[in-house]
Chains A and B, each alone.
Chain A
């Protein structure tokens, strides 16, 4: 079956530091890959996505590249802000996208001023 593995954290960084959150996946087909963000007391918001190998998703300074050879989709940002503090979820969707998302456990990111 499908699965997603990501570092759980918490990850604590200082403002303006470089961020990497690792994500690897196992899938039977050729999935689409996603990063979602969850702020306290809220639901999940799509941060970025990539639908095929070598695609790069980007949004709000965050980037992730779909690496089929390493089955990875690591999230990066060059300079984090306090407002980036949240829980980040890596996810995949297979089989045409109508069967729901498989999520990792989430990474709690804390940015200190």
Chain B
């Protein structure tokens, strides 16, 4: 247990489905992040939330929609995904330079 909990651990969804990934931290961190990890590519920073406000969106397609209702919870809403969106989605939180990562959600789009 790392202090950052992600659910579900595995998800298989069709291209017409709508699903959500959940991330939760009770470390007192004030920033939360979504990263995408694909084979043979560097980890890609997708979204950044500081004090619940989104401060960065790295040109992520609109089929990915983040939500941060409070400083402890972060969601990634998914709809009409493509097979190339299959990847490991990692959530992280931080306070100053201390980053903690969750174990990730392995997403497969069929």
> Contact flags (1/0) for B78-89 with A, using CB distance below 8 Å?
000000000000
Verify if A69 is at the interface (C-beta below 8 Å from B). no
Residues of A within 8 A of B33 (CB): 100
Take A100-B45, A106-B42 as given contacts and tell me if A43 and B96 are in contact as well, using a CB distance cutoff of 8 Å.
Answer: no
Residue of B nearest to A4 (CB): B42
Task: Give the most central of A36, A44, A45: most B CB within 10 Å.
Answer: A44
Residues of B within 8 A of A61 (CB): none
Inter-subunit contact A97/B104 (CB<8 Å): no
A98's partner among B31, B35, B43, B101 (CB-CB below 8 A) is B31
Q: Which residues of B contact A (CB under 8 A)?
A: 2, 4, 6, 30-31, 33, 35, 40-43, 45, 48, 50, 55-56, 90, 92, 94, 96-104
Given A44-B92, A98-B50, A99-B48, 12 more A-B residue pairs with CB atoms under 8 Å apart are: A43-B102, A44-B90, A44-B101, A45-B2, A51-B97, A93-B99, A98-B55, A100-B56, A101-B43, A103-B42, A103-B43, A105-B41
